Every structure is written in C-alpha cells, then in structure tokens.
Amino acid sequence: MSEANIEENDQQQNQVLTDAESHIKQACDMLQREAARLRHEQRAIDAMSKKLEHIHFTSTIQLNVGGHRFTTSLQTLTKDPNSMLAAMFSGKFEMKPTDDGAFFIDRDGTHFRFILNYLRSGELILPEGATFLKELEAEAKFYQIQGILDELVPKFPKNFEESVILTNEEHRNVLSGWLPPLEGKWQLLMRASQDGFAAQTFHSKCDNKGPTVTIVKRGNNIFGGFTETSWNSQNIYLYCSQSFLFSMVNPQGVAPSKMPLANNQRKAIFCYCSHGPTFGGGFDLHISNDADLNDSSYSNLGYSYQLPTGHQSTFFTGAKYFCVTDYEVFGTYQ
C-alpha cells in the first residue's frame, strides 16, 4: 500500500471516530437532560407527598359550616369531581382543621345537609312545599354542584305541549312565535272537555290570571285568541294593545293566520260572568255559556280584529254560529 493510500485510510478512520464521539456526546447530553427531568418530577412528587402527609385527611371528616356541625366521609365530599368541595379536599390545597378537629367553611349551614345528602345518594330530596329553593340554589352555586342546580330547574313542558287541541308541533311553534315576550311558561288553566263548558267554570279558573291564550276547536277547525289583559266577571270591555285572534285550521284551507287588533283597542275583550272568553267590540269571537250544548257561540270577524283579506266574518268555521267541540285556556307562570 502506498503512503498516500495509508494517509487516506487514516483520515477515514479518524472521521469515523470523530462521528462516533459526537453521537456518544449527544446521547450523554440527552441522558443528562432526562435524568434532570426525572429528578425534577421526583422532587415534585416528594413535595406533594409531604403536603398530603401534613394535611392527612382521614376517611371520616368533621365539618363546621357556619356553626352547623356535620360528620361525613372524604368519599362523599369528593363525589362530584367538579365541585368546590372535591377541590378543597383533594389534597392540592393546604387545609388545616381548627383546634376542635373540624374543618371550617364560612357559609350558612342551614341547608348544607341537602348538599351532603345529594352527594351521598345522587338524589335531591326536599320537604314537600319547600320554600328555600333560592337559598339552596345559592349554596349549590357556591359549592359548584351542577347536579343540584339541574334538579332545581323547573321541569316545565314546552309551550302548549299540554294541549289536546293544538297537537301539531308546527302549529304550537307558530303560535309561540306570534306571542309577545313574556316571563315564564304557558300552563293549562282549564280544558272545557275536562272541567266543564259553563262560563262560571271559565271565570273561576281564568279570571285575574294575567295574559292568556284561548284555543278553540269546532269539528276539525282550530282557532282562538290571545290577550295580555286579565279576564274578570264585571260586565265590562277592557283595553288591550297586543291582543290578537288566530286561525290554525279552517274550512278554506288557509295557512295559519294571525288577526291583530284593527281598531277600538278599548274594546279588545269583553268580560261578563255569563260569557266564556269573548274578543272584540262586535264579538269578533264569542264563546257562550255551555258552548257544547248550544250553537250560541259565534264569530263576527272584522269588527275589532283584522279580517283576512278576501274572506268573510265566518272565516273560523264557515258559519256565524257554532257549537264548540272543546276549548282550552292557558296562562303564564314563573
């Protein structure tokens, strides 16, 4: 082998050694970084262990909630992982009991037993007719227990879902869209086929109830009216500004129609002890006493309420006088 070849071979070997040394150095650096990371994690674990040893929650925990004493378990207090109680007793925060061994929570403890019982059983059980729901809601918000907050939300039916007349969901949605914004949901005040068709029944169940919606059925035809003013029995016309009549199903096959007040808002509704719900100064829609037994109910559309273009005052049923198959009255509640 020539001297030049020997020199070239030495250079190649030196390069191989240099590359190997570089790889080894990189591997050592990586191992050192990993070792440093593991030492850091171990120190964090040791610190947490010391904190937990310092806190030392037992399986049974004494609580003093605003002067009210409770005994419960760590398992109960941490039952809801998203609650403040679970966070407080998770060991992540330094908490010390008072001299008597109880953990003090600076809240009114009057209703705390319902909080604990819910965490124990997963069921909110309250005394019948409980009047402290707002206070309990405030405590549930403080402790961040969403399950209790969900239980306290009233389980109201959707608007007019109780109706046996307006069974078409699309019609219910249309009617809801026509109504002005009001507090609360709509609940059934009376159903004639269930409670009776007497005018006295209507007034006993619907007078002084605030805004109402009346839904009437005659055969296959469905119609009615809304008023924001309470009914009464005083033989008097009453002023309204938002009242309207409506038709959902009619003999003409016209799509659902809203008929707002056209004039004479001072005579939007007529209240009389011997009449059922009556709209308009000319009785645009009148439901009579014992409306299922006679044809004294009638419509005279176009007097106070706007008559649909191209149609007659008999638009609702095709006849001026009619016998009522059924009618319902809904009112709002908070």
The ranges assigned to domains in the chain are 60-152, 169-332
What percent of the chain has a predicted confidence (pLDDT) above 70? 88
H or E element at residue 120: helix 112-121
- Which of 72-76, 106-110, 181-185, 229-233 has the lowest average pLDDT? 181-185
* DSSP secondary structure of 187-224: EEEEEHHHH-S-HHHHHHHHBT-SSEEEEEEETTEEEE
pLDDT digits (tens, 9 = 90+) for 38-88: 787 777 766 655 554 444 455 789 999 999 999 999 999 999 999 999 998
Whether the CB-CB separation of 271 and 311 falls below 8 Å is answered with: no
Average pLDDT over all residues of the chain: 88
Fold annotation for 60-152: Potassium Channel Kv1.1; Chain A (3.30.710)
The pTM of this model reads: 0.56
pLDDT digits (tens, 9 = 90+) for 301-322: 999 999 999 999 999 999 999 9
Neighbour count for residue 127 (Cβ, 10 Å)? 8
